Amino acid sequence: MDIQSIKNRFGIIGNSPALHYALQVAVQVANTDLTVLIMGESGVGKEVFSQIIHALSARKHNPFIAVNCGAIPEGTIDSELFGHEKGSFTGAVDSRKGYFETVNGGTIFLDEIGELPLGTQARLLRVLETGEYIRVGSSKVHKTDVRVIAATNKDLLEQVHNTRFREDLYYRLSTVPIRVPALHDRKEDITLLFRKFAVDFAEKYKAAPVQLDEDAKNMLINYPWPGNVRELKNIPEQVSVLSADKQITSKELSRFLQPYTANRLPVLAHTNGHGAESFANEREILYKLFFDMKKDVTELKKMFFEVLQNPTALQNQSLMNELKELKDHELMQPVLVQPTAQQPVLMNRDIQEHVEVEESLNIMDKEKELIIKALKKHRGKRKDAALDLGISERTLYRKLKEYNIEE
């Protein structure tokens, strides 16, 4: 089947070379059982590619199911995917088949694969490598024959480096990667898509379709489209409903486009020679904060002990000012006796503080330590421990698995 037939069958609009290449890869890999990883920004239409692969495969008459991994709570996602036995957890009043059992012989599309918890990632890796899985609360091994197509709008390699995604699973999933181009990378398709959506809306409501003048087309093409095709589809619908004139000017169109600049980044972000980098979540922000603090403390310690080894250095006015700042900030509070022919005397208090700054500043170690203390304090009662820690019981359960804490 040629690319144009595929586009007509699945309602794909566009003539971008990058789009055609992604479709070509999907067609070529469809008739195999290889695992496929579809990558692209949110709203580019990754699920359509999974449907194309399934429809052109030998499994096309067998079940196909799309699972949004980010929409399933962490505490139940293992049960959803692999099933569970009666009584395996609170609320499990009956045994239940998981998706890998019900879709046996077919295709499962795992959207937002980067949201899977680490424990579930290990289970998925076993399915991909051996076709085996175990229901929650069971020890019996089941076999399944399911083709997995995964999708993500995140940089999984970055998540691998940050230990939030298993490296072995990443390479197992990306047997055949397909990159779906973002709308700002296929500008020649923007006006085609706008016209298609405008005509569809007009036919649905029996009205004349809106049209853009040249300035409005240029504005549309140069807009960055952070929401991609999903965002673009909303614009002709809004214009059709809210605009009195069917011939749309750039001034009229600007009312419907969100203010957006190319440098709109998260608050804590910086650029280097390789482009923009940003912190993905609060943990990364805390990492940077603690690393910077540790670096500052190390420099302060070095300077302080240089003074102890060389008392005459106290005559240097700038060094004395630095020591004064240390005292004012109470980072270290040295108590020095008047220097004699030997060495200035360092009080015990300073030795203790020196030992304290060597303590680990790794936030994950601290988090694990607090969880263990809370569990000991409440004698293993998760609910009370979670309340004491200020987190939900479900989050505590996930942390126990993540840090491999024995209760």
| Nearest-5° Cα angle at 67, 62 to 72 | 145
Could you tell me if 78 and 122 are in contact, meaning their C-beta atoms sit under 8 angstroms apart?
A: no
The structure tokens 């500008």 sit at: 187
DSSP 318-336: HHHHHHHHHHHHTS----B
The one-letter amino acid at 67: V
The residues with which 151 forms a beta bridge, in sequence order, are 38
pLDDT digits (tens, 9 = 90+) for 298-315: 666 666 666 566 655 444
* Residue range(s) in the chain whose domain bears CATH number 1.10.10: 363-402
| Nearest-5° Cα angle at 92, 134 to 372 | 75
The structure tokens 């005459």 sit at: 312
Q: How far apart are the first and last CA of the chain?
A: 57
Could you tell me if 260 and 226 are in contact, meaning their C-beta atoms sit under 8 angstroms apart?
A: yes
Could you tell me if 385 and 396 are in contact, meaning their C-beta atoms sit under 8 angstroms apart?
A: yes
Token pair recorded at residue 106 = 């077919």
pTM more than 0.95: no
* Residue range(s) in the chain whose domain bears CATH number 1.10.8.60: 184-254
Phi, then psi, of 176 in degrees rounded to 5: -130, 105
Strand pairing of 147-152 and 132-134? unpaired
Could you tell me if 169 and 117 are in contact, meaning their C-beta atoms sit under 8 angstroms apart?
A: no
Positive or negative, the Cα torsion across 89, 120, 283, 370? positive
Q: How far apart are the C-alpha atoms of 209 and 239, rounded to whole Å? A: 10
Token pair recorded at residue 305 = 């002990």
Phi, then psi, of 149 in degrees rounded to 5: -120, 125
* Residue range(s) in the chain whose domain bears CATH number 3.40.50.300: 3-181
Could you tell me if 95 and 51 are in contact, meaning their C-beta atoms sit under 8 angstroms apart?
A: no
Q: How far apart are the C-alpha atoms of 5 and 179, rounded to whole Å? A: 20
| Class of the domain covering 363-402 | mainly alpha
Q: How far apart are the C-alpha atoms of 224 and 215, rounded to whole Å? A: 16
Q: How far apart are the C-alpha atoms of 275 and 286, rounded to whole Å? A: 22
Token pair recorded at residue 223 = 């807009």
Burial of 239 (0-12, 13-18, 19+ CB in 10 A): buried
Question: How far does Cα 54 stand from its chain's mean position?
Answer: 26
Q: How far apart are the C-alpha atoms of 151 and 136, rounded to whole Å? A: 25
Token pair recorded at residue 365 = 């170690």
Q: How far apart are the C-alpha atoms of 397 and 237, rounded to whole Å? A: 45
The residues with which 272 forms a beta bridge, in sequence order, are 275
DSSP 166-228: -HHHHHHHTTEEEEPPPGGG-GGGHHHHHHHHHHHHHHHHT-PPPEE-HHHHHHHHHS--TTH
Count the residues in the chain: 407
The predicted structure's pLDDT at residue 310: 63
Q: Which residues of the chain are under the pLDDT cut of 70?
A: 1, 260-362, 407
The number of beta carbons lying within 10 Å of the beta carbon of residue 246 is 14
Q: Which fold has domain 184-254?
A: Helicase, Ruva Protein; domain 3 (1.10.8)
* Multiple choice CATH, 3-181, 3.40.630.10, 3.60.21.10, 3.40.50.300, 2.60.120.380: 3.40.50.300
The number of beta carbons lying within 10 Å of the beta carbon of residue 149 is 30
The predicted structure's pLDDT at residue 348: 44
